[in-house]
Chains A and B, each alone.
Chain A
């Protein structure tokens, strides 16, 4: 500022103020120009650093990514994308000390745009890292209902799936189930999406829901081997053995190397063959199955007693064992087998099968899981018990 500025203009206050205003305006414009150019350079530099950071983050080199994102942010401190990426890298670096910083970036972004789904999703993931079900659910929901820059439906479903997986990890099955129902209602006609949903239902565990989803997959892609196997397994787990048999047969035929389906199919067929409560069998067949089950139960009881060192033949020995009680019940029921054919004895099949089921359940507890027909009878008993409850 020259000390010898020519004093050509009369020095009155308005003139001075006008001159100062002009000088301020010119300076402002000059600095604006300078700042704009500087910012453009910085933005270009920031983009390069951001690309470096992204590459490092994708390669899971999080320390390198964090340094690059920080440098990018120093070039453009208000860039939301850089902040979000830095927060993600901080979160993903698996250093609990960095979660605070990640959260602070994300909260700043969230305060600026609370509807931003990506920010909410990142915050949800931070909350999930911390194990906070309440915060995570809130932010995941914000993400689902927030604004996505692209492909909102898929992103919403992905967010919900992530939330479900988190809830399942935290054993919050009831919340997971309600999210699964919402997910199932919003799925597009995409076999993969339904397949993923079905697998989540299985984890819940909600086998009926899983079966429905597998059936949706098969509706869209009838030869989908994974869906056939899944549907078979879900039906098997939910006690729909006839349906399970159908799907499992298809699964084994579509993929003969699928050992699990083969194992389940064998078990299912055993159950279907042995089940006296099957609706589409004749009375004679039902009676045959009851009789076979009854004597199978006796065999199981005898073998289990031998295994457990209980002498069932010598009734004088004062051994207090539930197996003796079971034997007594079996002996008591044996004469009634002859009455099965009588139409008046409508409750008899149930009463005899109750004895069979009690023997199978108790021996499973004492002697371990059974094999073959015993296993089938045990599963039928469990299914029947669940149905009665």
Chain B
């Protein structure tokens, strides 16, 4: 088995990732040497940062081109398999997804083991575990399998696969160009942003999603590359497929602040729906994966059959990504009862499609569920309170953001996604209110976000922005001790200072240097100097010239760790007045705050 196939297997969500990809690590180490050779030839022309930025543009171009082909492939599959006209009660509706599911299962099990699921967590794994390595075969496999699955009507979306295709192309390009391991690691999110931006035709949302979900932390170093790749991929997609938005946005209005209550209610309902959706996936996925291996050949087919059956029985809107139905819902084409039914059926259909291991994404289904739920809740609210002025389209749009915030748990992306898709900033306040409610409800009922849950089910623990946001950060002020009662002056004589410390119980004293800076002296040092007959010398003349480092109260406590082994005490000074002492930290006070004993104790 080749290195690539090993990674393929370990990176697919068919099996837990137990081998943290030793081969790519070794390859990367080897390439670090060759990359230094490469960049040595670039001296004076391009340094690596500039080269990486330019490379990001090319990643965007290639990803954009790939996504264009991917979208054509889905459309072509759909036309070829299900026909151009939507048909209800046609046998094709359940036969086609079932047969396509069988083919997809064989491909996934035999040829492309790394392409199961959405692709977001696989890309994140590549960043944090596999040094940016995503086999190119993953892109090929994802392209074929997801196009077949979505085109045949499985209730999945093309966005997450596009993200993974972009990441895979970026990773392959980075490896081919032998860039440094550090940069190679960052290639995956750069490509992911390009793929997602191309699929959504929304560069800002793609950038934010990649930062919130894939990278999992704010990193100024990569932001430029991510933005460049996202923008260039969107330019490519628009040049081929036009700049038409995903939906035709109707007139959306927000007139009275009191209507925010209605949107808050939508947010709360959306939060519960998000939890239901996430919990059903979280419950079923490990159980289906635990079934005998041969059943995994049948699971996508059964999922396809179930989805097709729903379509056959009168709700073909839930098949595929469902953008057409979202568009119709946005223009008030469905009654609230049907909207509610579609939301519930889509949760069911997407859950079975996703947990069966069929390659495909959850972005579009999330938007679909949110749109239908938003429309249903909005219509009900307007029946109960006819004075509400928001149109169905407004509630549908807000609903999309609500599910995005609650289910995918990307609050910033959810807000910008709605704004970018609608091009209407008038509804920003309802979107923020509703998304916040949804996020809070979802967060309180389901502590782990969906993508984290999926990676944990695969045996991985990856960082997330949500964790980082809520992590309590220890600061210097938390370990700071009060200003000591005895502060010595470097201008005073040694004997005067020795006299001053006689009544103190401290063993180490802070010395104020002239004209600025701080130093420290111990009681033993002072007594020794006095014994050595240096009592009539100033303290400044006998102490080492190098001053103590100083800290500020707001710095993370980690910054104190660098000094605590070399200095007994460290002054903490005011940022506005460096002469003003706020307190001190000692090794003991720092370690005490971390809950550990000082190593020297």
CB closest residue in chain B, given A30: B65
Known A-B contacts A5-B176, A77-B242; the reply to A70 vs B331 at CB < 8 A is no
Give the nearest-CB partner of A32 in chain B.
B240
Choose from B68, B79, B176 the contact partner of A3 (Cβ within 8 Å).
B176
| Chain A residues, Cβ within 8 Å of B175 | 3
* Set of chain A residues within 8 Å of B68, measured between Cβ atoms: 31, 35
Which of B62, B65, B176, B324 makes the CB contact (< 8 A) with A70?
Answer: B324
Closest B residue to A101 using CB positions: B331
Contact A11 B331 (CB under 8 A): no
Residues in B whose Cβ lies below 8 Å from that of A1: 136, 169, 172-173, 176
Closest to B54 in A: A17
CB <8 Å contact, B76 and A38: yes
Stretch of B41-49, B292-300, B401-409, B579-587 on the interface side: B41-49
A287–B5 alpha-carbon span in the complex (Å): 121
User: Could you tell me the dominant secondary structure of chain A's interface residues?
Assistant: helix
B86–A71 contact, CB under 8 A?
Answer: yes
Cβ of B456 < 8 Å from any Cβ of A? no
Given A13-B51, A24-B61, does the pair A67, B86 have CB atoms closer than 8 Å? yes
Chain B residues near A34 (CB-CB < 8 A): 69, 72
Q: A1-B176, A67-B86, A100-B250 are in contact. Are A27 and B41 (CB under 8 A)?
A: no
Interface string of A1-36 (1 = CB under 8 A from B): 101010000111110110010011001100110110
Contact across chains for B240 and A11 when beta carbons are under 8 A apart: no
The residue on A at minimum CB distance from B68 is A31
- Cβ contacts under 8 Å, B76 to chain A: 38
Instruction: Type the 1/0 row for B220-244, where 1 means its CB is closer than 8 Å to any CB of A.
Output: 0000000000000000100011101
Q: Tell me, yes or no, whether B547 is within 8 Å of chain A by CB.
A: no
Does A74 sit within 8 A of B, measured CB to CB? yes
Bound: A38/B77 CA distance, A: 12
> A150 within 8 Å of B by Cβ?
no
Which residues of chain A (52-87) have a CB below 8 Å from chain B? Answer: 67-68, 70-71, 74-75, 77-78
Instruction: Determine if B85 and A14 form an interchain contact, defined as CB atoms under 8 angstroms apart.
Output: no
* B side interface size, CB within 8 A: 48
Cα separation A298 to B176 with both chains bound (whole Å)? 116
Question: CA A148 – CA B178 in complex, angstroms?
Answer: 61
Q: How far is the CA of A75 from the CA of B76 in the complex (A)?
A: 10
Instruction: From B41, B72, B85, B333, give the contact of A11 (CB < 8 A).
Output: B41
A-side contacts of B251, CB under 8 Å:
104
Q: Is the CB of B41 within 8 A of A12?
A: yes
Asked if A339 is at the interface (CB within 8 A of a chain B CB), the reply is no
A74 touching B244 in the complex, CB below 8 Å, given contacts A24-B62, A27-B65, A101-B333? no
- A108 contacts B by Cβ under 8 Å: yes
- With a CB–CB cut-off of 8 A, which chain B residues contact A38? 72, 76
Interface presence of B328 (CB below 8 A): yes
Q: Are A13 and B84 in contact (CB under 8 A)?
A: no
Which one, B46, B65, B250, contacts A104 given CB within 8 A?
A: B250
Task: Contact check, B72 vs A35: say whether CB atoms are below 8 A apart.
Answer: yes
Contact B331 A35 (CB under 8 A): no
CA distance A100 to B375 in the complex (A): 14
- Whether A104 lies near B176 (C-beta < 8 A) is no
Inter-chain CA distance A255–B69, complex, in Å, is 72
B277 at the interface (CB under 8 A from A): no
Whether a CB of chain B sits under 8 angstroms from the CB of A289 is: no
A98 within 8 A of B: yes
A4 to chain B minimum Cβ distance, whole angstroms, is 10
In the complex, A49→B249 CA distance in Å? 25
Contact of B85 among A10, A31, A67, A100 (CB under 8 A): A67
Chain A CB within 8 A of B578 CB:
no
Q: Mark A105-140, 1 if CB is under 8 A from B, else 0.
A: 100100000000000000000000000000000000
Q: A16 with B72: in contact, given A32-B240, A104-B331 (CB under 8 Å)?
A: no
- Shortest distance from the beta carbon of A88 to any chain B beta carbon, whole Å: 15
Known: A20-B58, A31-B65. Is A49-B85 also a contact (CB below 8 A)? yes
Q: How far is the CA of A248 from the CA of B86 in the complex (A)?
A: 60
Q: Roughly how many angstroms separate A1 CA and B240 CA in the complex, as a whole number?
A: 24
Q: Are B244 and A78 in contact (CB under 8 A)?
A: yes
Q: Which residues of A contact B62 (CB under 8 A)?
A: 23-24, 27
> Given the interface contacts A24-B61, A31-B68, A74-B324, does A98 sit within 8 Å of B333 by beta carbon?
yes
Residues of the B chain whose Cβ atoms lie less than 8 Å from the Cβ of A101: 250, 328, 331-333
For residue B45, which residue of chain A has the nearest CB?
A13
Q: Does B500 contact A (CB under 8 A)?
A: no
Q: How far is the CA of A32 from the CA of B332 in the complex (A)?
A: 37
**Does residue B380 face the partner (Cβ distance < 8 Å to A)?**
no
Residues 64-92 of B contacting A (Cβ, < 8 Å): 65, 68-69, 72, 75-76, 79, 84-86
In the complex, which residues of chain B have a beta carbon less than 8 angstroms from the beta carbon of A14?
Answer: 45
Chain B, 177-218, CB within 8 A of any chain A CB: 177-178
The answer, yes or no, to whether A97 is at the interface (CB within 8 Å) is yes
* Contact among A11, A23, A74 for B38, CB-based, below 8 A: A11
In the complex, whether B575 has a CB less than 8 A from a CB of chain A is no
With both chains docked as a complex, state the minimum distance between the C-beta of B53 and any C-beta of chain A, in angstroms.
12
Known contacts A13-B46, A24-B61; A74/B84 CB under 8 A: yes
CB-defined interface of B495-518 with A at 8 Å, one 1/0 digit per residue?
000000000000000000000000
Chain B residues within 8 Å of A10, by CB: 41
- The residues of B that contact A105 with a CB separation of less than 8 Å are 248
List of B residues within 8 angstroms of A20 by Cβ: 55, 58
CA distance in complex: A156, B386 (Å): 41
**A45 located at the interface, meaning its Cβ lies under 8 Å from any Cβ of chain B in the complex:** yes
- Write the nearest CB–CB distance from B127 to chain A, whole angstroms: 19
B-chain residues with CB within 8 Å of residue A32 when the two chains form the complex: 240
Complex Cα distance A78/B241, Å? 10
Q: Bound state CA distance, A77 and B331, in angstroms?
A: 17
Q: List, in ascending order, chain A residues with CB within 8 A of B51's CB.
A: 13
When C-beta atoms are compared, the residue in chain B nearest to A83 turns out to be B248
- Shortest B391–chain A CB gap in Å is 8
On whether the beta carbons of B333 and A13 are closer than 8 Å, the reply is no
17 A-B residue pairs with CB within 8 Å: A1-B136, A13-B42, A13-B46, A23-B62, A24-B61, A35-B240, A42-B75, A45-B84, A49-B84, A71-B86, A74-B84, A77-B242, A97-B332, A97-B333, A100-B250, A100-B393, A104-B249
* CB-CB nearest 9 A-B residue pairs: A101-B331, A1-B172, A13-B46, A13-B42, A20-B58, A71-B84, A31-B65, A12-B41, A24-B61
A sample of 16 more A-B contacts (CB under 8 A), given A3-B175, A100-B331, is A1-B169, A1-B172, A11-B178, A12-B41, A13-B41, A20-B55, A31-B68, A38-B76, A70-B86, A70-B324, A74-B324, A78-B242, A101-B250, A101-B328, A101-B332, A105-B248
